[in-house]
Structure 1
Amino acid sequence: MQLTNLNMPVASLLACGNDPGVMTTEQAHAAMQLHLDCTVDRCLVRRRARTTLVEAGKCVLDDQAERL
Structure 2
Amino acid sequence: MGKGKAARKPRSQVISMRVSEGERRTLQEIAHRQAINVSDIMRHALERYTGSTSPPGGPLKNGARA
TM-score, normalised on structure 2? 0.34
The structure richer in strand per residue is 2
Q: Give the TM-score of the pair, scaled to structure 1.
A: 0.33
Greater relative contact order (CA < 8 Å, ≥ 6 in sequence): 2
Name the larger-Rg structure: 2
